[in-house]
């Protein structure tokens, strides 16, 4: 079920008035059940998976609240990562191993197994989002950032609150990635009040998201198809496709986020914005503070900072940037061109860091490369990265970039 499908629209139309009319003590449980039915509509086994994994995470979280044992924390995080890797990356792993092995029986068997697995294995919708949310939940409990309220709510209330966080249907499929501490009903947006401004704000956000998706993203999609077969397109056509894809991916992804945020508002939940005019950024650091904010902040807080952040020698900070951005690329898709896209951004962030270091500027400051030239560098660096992202393979991306620079006929 897509966020833009008719069935999703009917679900929202039925859920919002029902949620506003039922007694407040039953709202969280009702929304949990609706969200579970929404996910089970797509796949019952996958709904059982998220329930089972969520149940384990909740139990481990409860234990970590009373005894912060590193083994429990490592077990929970490892389980989440293992589930994500199995469903999303096992085929890529098998094909990579088969490609590096000498040609023979073992290599052929691995390739055959990978082909079969790619046909049989269905990736659960939203698995990249809910596994990251589970890792955040366990990490913040272990670090003492999530603490039990006093007086302690009953177990069934804590369980309901957690599964509402885990299953919340507006954000389950395409984010934004939520933080448990920030998730909850906004007293100023309580559904029982059904204030006109609350409804208007949510409906406007949904309409704005739909317009971005349908009028902009879908219109540009016909142009961006040129990146799928770059050998058949002129250099000028490829440049046009690159710029078009920059607009398409922003309108498409931010449109989905707007719909999710708007539906959340109708239900009385305020979800943080996921995009903040990313193409006005004058540095790559600034771009990643504006683009897919929930993911970039997750990578910063749970990967980059634990690796040392900015408090390590420059060479190590750059290696850490390359590593975490490669993982960011892999998070977007199990293919080599996504990894190279991540490395491209990691290299760019590293270059900017060295530049600021030579200029005597703080690497953690908001300082940007000056004015127009900083914007021009950032925008085109990001656009070249989109060629790597949009191409069907690394080879196709290489052909597209070579033809754009008139290096290949």
Alpha carbons 26 and 14: distance in angstroms, whole number: 16
159, 22 contact by CB (below 8 A) = no
Q: What is the CA radius of gyration of the chain?
A: 23
Can the peptide bond before residue 193 be classed as cis, meaning omega within 30 degrees of 0? no
- C-beta contacts of 6-13 below 8 A and 24+ residues apart: 7/41, 11/38, 11/169, 12/263, 12/266
Identify the active-site residue in 136, 150, 332, 337.
Answer: 332
Report residue 320 as tokens. 């850490």
Neighbours of 76 (CB within 10 A): 26
Alpha carbons 76 and 57: distance in angstroms, whole number: 6
123 burial level (CB within 10 Å; 0-12, 13-18, 19+): middle
Alpha carbons 204 and 304: distance in angstroms, whole number: 36
274, 293 contact by CB (below 8 A) = yes
Q: Is 156 an annotated catalytic residue?
A: no
Residue 89: partners with Cβ closer than 8 Å, 6 or more residues away: 330, 334
128, 175 contact by CB (below 8 A) = no
Alpha carbons 289 and 362: distance in angstroms, whole number: 16
The three-point CA angle 312-314-319 to 5° equals: 90
105, 27 contact by CB (below 8 A) = no
The three-point CA angle 386-391-394 to 5° equals: 105
Alpha carbons 375 and 46: distance in angstroms, whole number: 43
Q: Which residues pair with 185 in a beta bridge?
A: 269
Alpha carbons 164 and 184: distance in angstroms, whole number: 9
Catalytic positions, written as ranges: 332
């Amino acid at each position: 079920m897509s966020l833009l499908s008719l069935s999703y629209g009917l679900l929202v139309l039925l859920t919002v008035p029902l949620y506003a009319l039922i007694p407040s003590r039953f709202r969280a449980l009702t929304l949990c059940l609706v969200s579970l039915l929404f996910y089970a509509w797509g796949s019952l086994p996958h709904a059982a998976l998220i329930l089972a994994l969520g149940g384990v995470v909740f139990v481990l979280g409860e234990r970590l609240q009373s005894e912060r044992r590193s083994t429990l924390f490592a077990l929970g995080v490892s389980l989440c990562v293992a589930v994500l890797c199995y469903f999303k990356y096992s085929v890529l792993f098998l094909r990579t191993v088969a490609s590096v092995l000498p040609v023979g029986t073992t290599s052929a068997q691995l390739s055959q197994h990978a082909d079969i697995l790619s046909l049989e294995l269905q990736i659960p919708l939203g698995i990249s989002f809910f596994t990251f949310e589970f890792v955040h939940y366990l990490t913040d409990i272990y670090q003492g950032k999530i603490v039990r309220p006093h007086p302690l709510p009953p177990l069934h209330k804590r369980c309901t609150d957690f599964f509402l966080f885990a299953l919340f249907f507006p954000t389950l499929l395409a984010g934004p990635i939520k933080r448990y501490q920030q998730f909850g009903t906004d007293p100023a947006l309580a559904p029982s009040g059904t204030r006109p401004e609350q409804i208007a704000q949510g409906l406007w956000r949904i309409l704005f998201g739909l317009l971005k998706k349908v009028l902009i993203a879908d219109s540009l999609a016909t142009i961006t198809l040129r990146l799928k077969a770059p050998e058949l397109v002129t250099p000028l056509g490829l440049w046009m496709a690159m710029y078009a894809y920059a607009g398409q991916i922003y309108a498409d992804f931010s449109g989905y986020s707007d719909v999710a945020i708007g539906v959340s508002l109708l239900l009385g939940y305020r979800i943080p914005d996921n995009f903040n005019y990313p193409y006005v950024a004058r540095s790559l650091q600034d771009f990643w503070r504006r683009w897919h904010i929930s993911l970039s902040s997750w990578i910063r807080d749970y990967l980059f900072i634990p690796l040392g952040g900015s408090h390590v020698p420059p060479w190590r900070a750059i290696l850490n940037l390359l590593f975490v951005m490669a993982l960011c690329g892999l998070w977007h898709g199990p293919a080599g061109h996504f990894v190279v896209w991540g490395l491209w951004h990691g290299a760019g962030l590293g270059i900017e860091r060295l530049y600021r270091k030579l200029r005597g500027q703080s690497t953690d400051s908001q300082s940007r490369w000056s004015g127009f030239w900083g914007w021009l560098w950032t925008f085109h660096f990001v656009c070249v990265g989109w060629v790597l992202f949009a191409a069907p393979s690394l080879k196709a991306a290489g052909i597209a970039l070579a033809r754009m620079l008139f290096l290949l006929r």
